[in-house]
Structure formats: structure tokens, C-alpha cells
Structure 1
């Protein structure tokens, strides 16, 4: 009997230990699903998969590791809505998250979240954020009833309204949650919308633990990269792998003018600029000028496939060390830096103008066509 009791206790302990290393999402969905009963999930550090609801209930079990952010949506969403809108959960550790959706026709996001406190806090944040964006959308429809989404004036108004409504909302939330994981996560998610001064101010409001957290550390790296990549600074040496499996160091390219081009296989504007960049390279490339393409792709095969499509004649490397963040503070691609023979940054430009009107190209003409 004692052995049986010990075995039962050990089994319970092992079960609890296993549960502590997973995120378990328990959901209840009400309403007519019209036979669309699958729940799909994917996300940051989450393998894409699906489960089937039974009588409106489902359970998703995901291995926990820092930085896991699951997104989920229903088969009903994908069949009846545009998108489909993925519903995001942000946990700060293992455990159970409960999701109750009272009406499937309103989408997964309409549900209530309980359990993990960070997941609850993020859902509350997103609910407020969505309300603000609906207000912005209504204001734009009223001001520009006949214009399309690509109308220049409408876009300018959208940016201004985002600054007036969304940024203060984000700022207040981060300040109120500076000592918790969710504050660091929201700051990381919205860092590209903030000025460098505001980003730095909010980052240093985070507690030391959150500055070092999975979402917090990249913000610090980004700020450090911005400082390192200031005009006039010398580029910190780095070494990255080539498509052939060799490597190229920045220091090996010193002694000539160097255009560092950050790009990716999924970036349309990057690829649109390549034909003109080839013409520029043909014109100036040689003993005094070189281009180094640095892809920020996460998937090596996608990078190699696009290189095969583009047939770019200048050296290429894959940013396996996230140099684009820690060394240059790049927030989006395409972004280009012109570096002098001494290794110091001369210019920075978002993109490379495919029509030849960019500031870097004007500088190249000044340097090589005198």
C-alpha cells in the first residue's frame, strides 16, 4: 500500500512538473460554427499546428520557453472573415490560459482571457488599442470619404492620428507596467513608432530585469546600435557567413568606399531597387567602391533562393548575429549606409532610390565623377 501511495504521489509530481514546462490554452467557444471546428495556432517559437473543437471546447499545449508568443484563429474565422484575424496571447511563463468566446461570429478576439496575468494584461491593452484604431478609421472615413487607402493625404492623416492617439496610449501603458514583462513586450512591439528619445526614456523606465528580458534586450540592443551607427562613428568590426559557407569581415573591406545594404527576401522595395543598384555597381564598382549586401532573413533557404533569383554581383552575407540591430539600429529594410575608406559612417538612407535620386547615389557621383 505504501509503495502504491508513493507511486501515486510521484506520478502527481511528475504531472505537475510537466505542466509547469508548458503553456496550456483551454478554450470554450459558443455559437454555430457551421461545421468549421478547427483552431489553428502558430507564432514566435511556436510550431504551426491545429486542434479540433469538441462541443465548443479545445485544449492547446505548447512547450514553454522565454519568448513564446502564440497566435490562434478559428477555421470559422478563416472561412467567414477577411484575414483571418489572428488572436495573440502573450504569456510570461508556463501555466494555463483560459479563453471564453461567447459568440463565434464576433471572432476569437471578442473572448475573455483569464489565467496568466501577462496574457490578461495584453488582451486588455489590445482591446483598448483596437478601440483607438476604430476611432481613427472612422475619422479617416469622415475626412476622406472618396479616397482610397493609398491616397497621400489620407496616409499623412493616418500617421498624425496614430501619433496623437496610439503613441500616448502605448507610452502610458509601458510606464504603468515598467516592472513587468508586458511593459517590455509592448515597448518592443511598438519601438519603431517611437522617436529615439522617447524609446530611450521608456527603456530606462523598465526595471533591470525587464531590460534584460526576451522582449527588453532587443530594445537595448537597438538603442545601442543607433548610437554606434551615428554619422562619423567607425563601424564595429563583424564577420558574417556567405552563401558558399565562407565568411566576410567588415575589416576586410576597409580601404574603399562601402555601401552596406540591409535587405531581405520578403522585402518588395529591396528587390525593386536591385536593377538600379546593379547599374550603379557596374558604374562605380572596383578598387574604390564596393557593396556588401546583408540579409536579415531568418530562414537561410529563403535567402539563398532569392539570391539565385536576383543574381547580385556584389558580396552577400546573412545576418546570423543580428548585427543590423546591435551594430546599426536598423528598424526596417531596405536601409543603406555609406562608409568611407577609414571605416567611418558617412551617410544613412532608408532604402536605395530605384530612380537614382537618393542622397547616397548623389554622394557617389560627387566622389567619383569629379
Structure 2
């Protein structure tokens, strides 16, 4: 759920308008090694060439709305509107962008609020894990932090200000309405608690496997299905991870929750994909898809979901990093894997 609200609002935010100037302008200087800047949005894309000295300048006939700005390793949100004349300063330390010129207040405000939503304050889990007294204090602190701004909000485009306010409202509404249920779940599945177990799941390699069979090593579990696009996008990263950690103190387990009655995915589709994709690790098929006791015990209602269990069968993280997360190797290193 982390940052989902912010991302969804950006995706849907795009509209057209007419101004006296029927274009917006960008100029600036980028970090060494960047040869082009890409502006992408709903139905629009433009690549701006960077000069040998690192400078760039161009005009864009782009509909008013939100865009992604890509310059080397820098990824930023950009709001464009006819008449905007923006100068961009790329900050190498954190791959961010500072804006000046016409439209700067709106874009710096977006940058400021994006940093809030991308921080722990934007992660509902950071609230749910707290006991009630600490949760109440954090909620007050988060709302106060959100309302802080170095930008004169009266100069921010009203559409953007309304978009940000709606994101704020949705985040805190979600946190407040879901605290009790999610807190109870996180307490039940807290680090160090004995993990729920699965018993005699069908193993693609033959026979059956139970979680207790895997004690003695860390167990990294991928709960997935053949019909799940985000699940399949993690497969290449998972394969690389399995290869790099082969022979180390960790076992990689994939549990399919394809429907046992064939309504969405099936046992046959699982067999076919494991074979055709040459999926590694321990490939298991859950006994009752999402209704399986193990899946229910972990409160899994969306996939992919990754779990990490220690060699003694205790929970390390009930919603751990994905294989594609750049921090996962350092996380494993901290655990001594």
C-alpha cells in the first residue's frame, strides 16, 4: 500500500487547457554523463537532447497535466502548463530536481509533497505496527508534517493543490479506518513469532513438502499465481536471486494460489508455467488457493506477497522485500545469509 495513493493520483491527473502561450519551456544543466532528458505523460512523450556542456533547452506542446521526467538516474514528477518557463537544477546527491522560473512553485510543491508520501509517513504499515498510544502521536505528527511547507501555496496551481490535498485525505482516511484490523494482524505476525505452517503441499519436483521440512535455513516464500502480472514480473529477479544465493543458508519457495477449481488459473496452468519457464527453488501448489489455512493465517488477499522465515521457523518479516527491490541483498547480508 505504500505510496499507492500518490501513484494513482498522478496516473489519473491529466487535462487540457488553453493559454496565451501554447507551449511550455524547459531549460537547465544536467549531471555529467546524461545525454538526454525524457518527458512522458498520458499520450505524450518527448526526448530532449543534452548539449556536450550538459545544458539543454526546449519547448513542449504538451497538454496540461502530470508527467514523468527522466534524466539518467533521476526520476521526478513534473507538472506542465502552457506558459510555464522552467529552469531545472539537478541535485546529484539525491537525484532530485529543483525548479525556478514560471511554474516553479507548483513543481517544487509537488517535489516537497512527493517526498512526504515516499517517506515512512506515506507508508500505512508504519502506523499499523504501533500500539494505540504511539499510533495516535504519530498520526498527529504526520498531519503536522504534511501541513508544513516552504512553498507559498497561494502560488501553486489550484489543480495540483487540490490533487495533493485529496491524496492527503485518502492516505489518512485509509490509515484511520484500517488501523485496528491491520494492527491486530501485524501483532499476530510480528517478527520473532512462530510462523503459521503449511503441511503436505504438492511439490512440482515430486511428493509433498511441509514448512517444517525446511527448518534449518531461512525460508523466503513467494506467494504467486500464473494469472498475476506483477507476480510474473518478479520472476526474472527471483531467478537471479536464487542463482546468487544457491548453496547458502536460505531456501527459496514459491507457493501457487492458482484456483483449484480452474476459475482463475489452475493446477495445469501451474504445472505448465513451472516447466516452460524453468522456475527454480521449491515450487509448491497450495491446497485450497486463497482459502488455504496458511494463506489465511498470513492474511494474504493480494499477490505477489513475500515472506521471510528464520531457520527455527519464526517470522522475520511477514511482508518482506520483493526480489526486484535493490535493498534485498543488503537485507540478507544483515541477517548473515
Structure (1 or 2) with the larger CA radius of gyration: 1
Q: TM-score range by the shorter chain?
A: 0.3 to 0.5
TM-score, with length taken from structure 2 = 0.45
Report which structure shows greater RCO (CA 8 Å, sep ≥6).
Answer: 2
Higher helix share: 1
